[in-house]
Amino acid sequence: MNPAIDLVFEPEALSWYEASARQRVAALVDPGSFHEAVGAEERATSPHLALFDLPEQFDDGMIVGRATLDGAPILVAAQEGRFMGGAVGEVHGAKLVGLLRAAQSLSLDVLILFDTGGVRLQEANAGETAIAEIMRALVDARRAGSRVVGLIGGRSGCYGGGGLIAACCSALVVTEQGRISVTGPEVIETNRGVEEFDARDRALVWRTMGGKHRYLMGGADVFVDDGPGAFRDAVREVLKAPGRLDLDTLDAEQARLERRLARFGAATDAVAVWSALGIADAAAVPGLSTRAFRAVATCRESADDAR
Amino acid sequence: MTLAEILAGLFRGSHDVAVTDGLILGTGRRTGGGLVHVLGIAEGAPLGIDGALILAGRVLAIARSGDDAPILMPIDSASQRMSRRDELLGLNECLAHLAKALMLAEAEGHRTLGLLYGRSAAGAFIATALATGHLVALPGAHPEVMDLPSMARVTKLSLDVLTEKARATAVFAPGLDNLVRTGAIHETWDPEKSLAEQWETCLAAPPASSDRRDRLGAERGGRPCAAAIAERVAARIADHA
């Protein structure tokens, strides 16, 4: 055994999909610059999980704090998808609310590393209300000039209320594995039947909700490889844009989404949408490498200044 | 109360509100003659991409109109529409767009009042009622995050166990009282009293300068920690900035 090798932390070698929330944050921002607020040592645990005989976690699956990126101060939130699927409970949600309120008062930009199945159903009412508070705090921060960037590439995806929060961000960076959706495949199947959505058909899940489709539709702004370096470069890029939120932004978003429905509203599968976009061999998209995918994605719909 | 009874109670005969495909659209006149924009969801309809964009387009037109008339949003809906097509075409973007439009209209000077008079759930609830500046409910309203069979599938708990816990646990169980306790719903109106007067009382109060729902949740005991945690995080971040 060679301890010199065992102890080396190689952040650039991380798979974003496989990494923990803490590993992602450490690898993303300037080395050693992250300072957590209300960290695990304060044991801000869920007051509700004991009712279900479920284990608590000292950070309730949400890590928030400040850091620097290329020397500039920035706020960071990261969901831990390994704890209850990153689901939003009372404490988990309140930490993000507090961070976004601080962003507004301090005029700082925010990075949100999503990894969530949505509202934590064991504390559903608290989680649902927290989602509404997060969206309002996010909108207030953006109206005051903060940019809020969502990073999506975790194991749990970005589902339920997480999908709504993501769509309030000024920019979204996504990997192929980064699924964004409101209703998850299992819930659609439970409510509407396997004919409407076969949750076990993983290829269907990826092409309906996955990062490539979202990027092509304008539901995400940058498509990256599954590593911290790729995310960091993308964040630098999107932070060059103003990320403002005003009536002009929303008029542009209204026009963008109406155009999407007009162009693709009759499609029943992603491959038909990609064909309508002008991709010649649309069926091959899921198998394309990042480089090849970017080359065919030049005909994508963009959401610049319209999110 | 039915939508017709609510509209009669608020506007007497002075309104042109109509329901088409589950969407409420129109205007009414306040007791003193002032304009009210009315838009919402009726008949327990689900909210999908098409309906969300219609409502958002209307809200943005109001925000651009230059009047400062309030927006009343009555809600009796299902959840978000659960379908492959809605997700394929970006339901998350359409629902968030509607919520953002409501918040921007409020910032432009339009008071926004959600009026929950029937059911609502999950994403439809977040994108409409929970995105207004002040949310009231009428007795009999039934908000929920997710129906129990779907919860059973996601939590891998049996429906029997969930039904039992739903009876015992406020933070998790569907229902009006439980969402009042979390602070999500600001107040419940009394259907025996004049709705017009209760609505005028809301409008006479100065608009809230900040989101008070977490404090309400602490006062009412439905969310014991949220306000304190959010405050502590914001204070720690400011200390070190």
What range defines the domain where residue B16 resides?
Answer: 3-138+189-207
Q: Write out pLDDT tens, residues B92-130.
A: 999 999 999 999 999 999 999 999 999 999 999 999 999
Query: pLDDT at position A6, please?
Result: 55
What's the average model confidence in pLDDT over A160-179?
A: 98
- A269 pLDDT tier (thresholds 50, 70, 90): very high
Cβ contact, residue pair A160, B178, below 8 Å: no
Class of the domain covering A11-177+226-244: alpha beta
Q: How many domains does chain B have?
A: 1
Give A270's contacts in chain B (Cβ within 8 Å).
88
Residue B161 lies in a domain: no
Tokens of B50: 């098409």
What span, in angstroms and rounded, lies between the C-alpha atoms of A133 and A137? 6
The strand pair at B23-29 and B18-20 is best described as antiparallel
What's the average model confidence in pLDDT over A47-64?
A: 92
Query: pLDDT at position B235, please?
Result: 97
Residue B109 lies in a domain: yes
Cβ contact, residue pair A94, B183, below 8 Å: no
Residue by residue, pLDDT tens for chain B (241 residues) are 999 999 999 999 899 999 999 999 999 999 899 999 999 999 999 999 999 999 999 999 999 998 999 999 999 999 999 999 999 999 999 999 999 999 999 999 999 999 999 999 999 999 999 999 999 999 999 998 877 777 787 778 888 988 888 777 778 888 999 999 999 999 999 999 999 999 999 999 999 889 999 999 999 999 999 999 999 999 999 997 6
Phi/psi at A78 (5° precision): -140, 130
Cβ contact, residue pair A128, B240, below 8 Å: no
A 45-64: CB under 8 A from B: 47-48, 51-52, 64
Is residue B237 a contact partner of residue A75, using CB atoms and an 8 Å limit? yes
Query: pLDDT at position B170, please?
Result: 74
Whether A246 has a pLDDT exceeding 80, the answer reads yes
A 113-172: CB under 8 A from B: 117, 119, 121-133, 135-137, 139, 143, 160-161, 163-168
Q: Count the helix, strand and coil residues of chain A and give each as a percent rounded to the nearest 5.
A: 50, 15, 40
What span, in angstroms and rounded, lies between the C-alpha atoms of A206 and A213? 8
Cβ contact, residue pair A160, B123, below 8 Å: yes
Higher pLDDT, residue B91 or A4 = B91
Query: pLDDT at position B241, please?
Result: 64
What span, in angstroms and rounded, lies between the C-alpha atoms of A10 and A189? 41
Q: Closest partner residue to A190 among B149, B183, B226, by Cβ?
A: B149
Residue B22 lies in a domain: yes
What span, in angstroms and rounded, lies between the C-alpha atoms of A39 and B175? 33
Neighbours of A194 (CB within 10 A): 12
Query: pLDDT at position B166, please?
Result: 79
Residue B237 lies in a domain: no
Query: pLDDT at position A1, please?
Result: 46
Q: What percent of chain A has pLDDT over 90?
A: 91
Query: pLDDT at position A5, please?
Result: 54
pTM value is 0.96
Tell me how long chain A is: 307
What span, in angstroms and rounded, lies between the C-alpha atoms of A28 and A38? 20
Residue B218 lies in a domain: no
Domain CATH for B134: 3.90.226.10
Query: pLDDT at position B223, please?
Result: 94
Closest-CA residue in chain A for B155? A121
Give A257's contacts in chain B (Cβ within 8 Å).
49, 53, 90, 93-94, 97
Query: pLDDT at position B149, please?
Result: 78
Is residue A161 a contact partner of residue A118, using CB atoms and an 8 Å limit? yes
Query: pLDDT at position A8, please?
Result: 63
The DSSP bridge partners found for residue A73 are A68
Any chain A CB within 8 A of the CB of B55?
no
What span, in angstroms and rounded, lies between the C-alpha atoms of B172 and B114? 22
Any chain B CB within 8 A of the CB of A29?
no
Q: Write out pLDDT tens, residues A86-100.
A: 999 999 999 999 999
- The beta strand positions in chain B, using DSSP E, are 18-20, 23-29, 35-47, 71-80, 112-116, 119-121, 134-137, 142-144, 187-188
- The beta strand positions in B91-175, using DSSP E, are 112-116, 119-121, 134-137, 142-144
CA angle, residues B60, B63, B68, in degrees to nearest 5:
155
Is residue A140 a contact partner of residue A168, using CB atoms and an 8 Å limit? no
Query: pLDDT at position B152, please?
Result: 83
ipTM of the complex: 0.96
**Closest of A174, A186, A183, A192 to residue A230, by C-alpha:** A174
Is residue A128 a contact partner of residue B125, using CB atoms and an 8 Å limit? yes
Residue B216 lies in a domain: no
